[in-house]
Structure 1
Amino acid sequence: MNSLKKIYFASDQHLGAPTIQDSLPREQKFVRWLDIVKEDAEAIFLLGDLFDFWFEYKTVVPKGFVRVLGKLAEIKDSGIPIYFFVGNHDLWMVDYFEKELNIPVYHHPKEFVFSNKIFFIGHGDGLGPGDLGYKRMKKVFTNPFSKWLYRWLHPDIGMKLGQYLSVKNKLISGDEDVVFLGEEKEWLVQYAKKKLKEKHYDYFLFGHRHLPMEISVGEHSKYINTGDWITHFTYAVFDSKELLLKTFEK
């Protein structure tokens, strides 16, 4: 890793919620952030729920989001790697990002190594103990037959239904109450501690919880949650030495 370059992480923009028009100022703010970080970015990681609802038909993708999609295309075309981890709101992403933007899409957490530091990165939904209702629902939604059936809905109906459920149904969306539960009840903290019994990781990086958090989970290991772009406008940045949480205020 170039010591003058940085790696950026952000999640949970939920563009389109509660409507595309209402989320437009957030989209514009996120694009401003992308414009700034591209100047010294070694890579950019998007940790899921960029959209509040996303479903890919074979020839149709959701309307809107041209500003952020165009900016991501510009950054990727300039040679800066971008990595996308699907969240619980955009878990129906298939290959649009890969084919149109040349951005790899991951459906499960993945390990990366930067400057001899081991990162375990993902969105965070469905990990750790608890949340059994959502875990069962996720199995249904990610089943190939379920996705095949949903594609038979006309896109106007399918998109409207998905957007409604994404906002209204907490069991389907998998969203938890956005309050700190305490280390012993934060499922991702427990998940990180369990993973450390298998292997050392320097950093566990997740989104999903909508709360910026930095918690020690081992003698030399930290769990960091990137927060969101609805209330906190936070992100994480690694400068080859340490991983820090920051707030974007422009």
Structure 2
Amino acid sequence: MNIPEGKKVYFASDNHLGAPTRKESAIREKKFVAWLDEVKQDAAAIFLLGDLFDFWFEYKTVIPKGFSRTFGKLAEITDAGIPIYYFVGNHDLWMDGYFEEELNIPVYHTPQEFTFNNKKFFIGHGDGLGPGDKGYKRMKKVFTNPVAKWFFRWLHPDLGVKLAQYLSVKNKLISGDEDIKFLGEENEWLVQYCKRKLESEHRDYFVFGHRHLPLEIDLNNNSKYVNLGDWIHYYTYAEFGGTELRLKTYDIQK
């Protein structure tokens, strides 16, 4: 993708809408929608890197209640011809066509590579990558198993959603909230993952979410790892105007 002059590519992650309750997250949702409304003015594309919701499951005819402001703004943006790309996170693994069919947003379940103005980007949510995190990796295999999804689908939505939201907050393996602090480059498993990927092929930028920490780490002289932070504590995002990826903070007073 060649980015036209005056246009930018935007990246955001980890809104966890619905947590701890829909009412309490409504304030954060309005700020996120305001950000979307602002960046659509010069966006060449928008990348949302997962955990937009604290829980998401698509029954055949039902989706979780709420988030109408977000859906409306996403539809408005794609209807205007601005592409949005979505990467599922550990809280919204169970996406199954709604975004594609209703919002015209492609959904990715694994990291993908994109090239913007000859800069190579490796993009994903970040959960389950790199060394360690074995407990979550085992749990993710269960969650993504078609049989497990089939059984969960038979729970009434009122029961299934309530149970999943409870576990999403209480179970640290699901929430990913065990280590929301910088562990040092040598212990940050996404940093280690990026360095291993560089052994086989150069990428200019590795962009992930999941860690809830805004991070910019030079992997070598030509490659950088960027973690997008979150829209709970930091309200951070990244923008690429054609030459350099920059991590920024949205003015939460708006």
TM-score range relative to shorter protein: over 0.9
**Deviations 1:23-58 (CA, angstroms, capped at 9, x unpaired):** 000000000000000000000000000000000101
State the distance in 1 between where 2:245 and 2:99 align.
27
**Deviations 1:75-106 (CA, angstroms, capped at 9, x unpaired):** 00000000000000001111100000010000
Q: CA deviation at 1:112?
A: 0.2
Q: Do residues 178 (structure 1) and 162 (structure 2) align?
A: no
**Superposition TM-score, scaled by structure 2 size:** 0.97
**Deviations 1:130-155 (CA, angstroms, capped at 9, x unpaired):** 00000000000000000001001000
Moved over 6 A (4+): none
> 1:32 is matched with which residue?
34
Q: CA deviation at 1:230?
A: 0.2
Residue pairs, 1:105-120, within 5 angstroms: 105-120=107-122
Gaps of 5+ in 2: none
Gaps of 5+ in 1: none
> 1:235 is matched with which residue?
237
Q: CA deviation at 1:3?
A: 2.2
State the distance in 1 between where 2:233 and 2:113 align.
28
> 2:7 is matched with which residue?
5
**Superposition TM-score, scaled by structure 1 size:** 0.99
**Deviations 1:187-243 (CA, angstroms, capped at 9, x unpaired):** 100000000001000000000000000001122000000000000000000000100
Residue pairs, 1:50-65, within 5 angstroms: 50-65=52-67
Q: Output the amino acid matched with 2:117.
A: S
State the distance in 2 between where 1:26 and 1:126 align.
27
Q: Do residues 161 (structure 1) and 163 (structure 2) align?
A: yes
State the distance in 2 between where 1:175 and 1:91 align.
17
Root mean square deviation of aligned Cα: 0.6
Residue pairs, 1:86-235, within 5 angstroms: 86-235=88-237
Q: Percent identity?
A: 73
Give the paired residue count.
250
Please say if residues 176 and 209 of structure 1, whose CA atoms lie closer than 8 Å, have aligned partners that are also in contact. Answer: no
Please say if residues 175 and 208 of structure 1, whose CA atoms lie closer than 8 Å, have aligned partners that are also in contact. Answer: no
